[in-house]
Homo-oligomer: A and B are copies of this chain.
Amino acid sequence: MPGPVTLSDVAREAEVSLATASRAINGSANRTVRPELRERVLAAAERLHYSPDANAQAMARGRTTTIGLIVHDIADPYFSSIAAGVTAAADQLGLVVTLLTTQHQRGREQQFVEVLQSQRARAILIAGGRYDDADGTESLSQALAGYMASGGAVALIGQPLPDVSTVAIGNTSGAIELAQRMHGLGYRRFGVLAGPEGHITARDRRDGFVQTLADLGAPVAPGAIVECAFTRDGGYEGMRDLLSRDLAVDLVFAVNDVMAVGAMAAARDADREVGADVAVAGFDDIVTLRDVNPGLTTVRLPLDELGAKAIELALAGPAAEATVVEVDGEVVVRASTPPRA
Contact = CB atoms under 8 A, between A and B. Distances in A.
Interface stretch (A243-251, A259-267, A320-328): A259-267
Contacts of A87: 74, 99-101
A149 interface: yes
Given A2-B149, A54-B118, A59-B55, A83 B75 contact: yes
Nearest to A117: B51
Copies in the complex: 2
A120 B54 contact: yes
Chain B CB within 10 Å, residue with most, of A51, A75, A114: A75
Given A1-B151, A98-B96, A55 B261 contact: no
Interface string A300-325: 00001000000000000000000000
B293 A264 contact: yes
A55 B97 CA distance: 16
Given A96-B98, A115-B96, A292-B292, A4 B150 contact: yes
Contacts of A2: 149-150
Interface residues of A, number: 60
A304 B74 CA distance: 11
A98 B291 CA distance: 31
Nearest to A77: B288
Contacts of A75: 77, 80-81, 83-84, 287, 304
A311 B99 CA distance: 16
B149 A1 contact: yes
A29 to B, nearest CB: 21
A261 to B, nearest CB: 5
A56 interface: yes
A146 B151 CA distance: 35
A292 B58 CA distance: 48
A340 interface: no
Contact of A84 (B52, B74, B286): B74
Contacts of A261: 288, 291
B264 A291 contact: yes
A105 to B, nearest CB: 10
B99 A99 contact: yes
Given A75-B77, A77-B77, A83 B64 contact: no
Interface in A46-92: 49, 51-56, 58-59, 64, 66, 69, 73-77, 80-81, 83-84, 87-88, 91
Given A54-B119, A286-B288, 16 more contacts: A1-B149, A49-B146, A51-B114, A51-B117, A53-B118, A55-B56, A55-B119, A59-B59, A74-B87, A77-B77, A77-B80, A87-B99, A88-B103, A97-B100, A264-B291, A288-B288
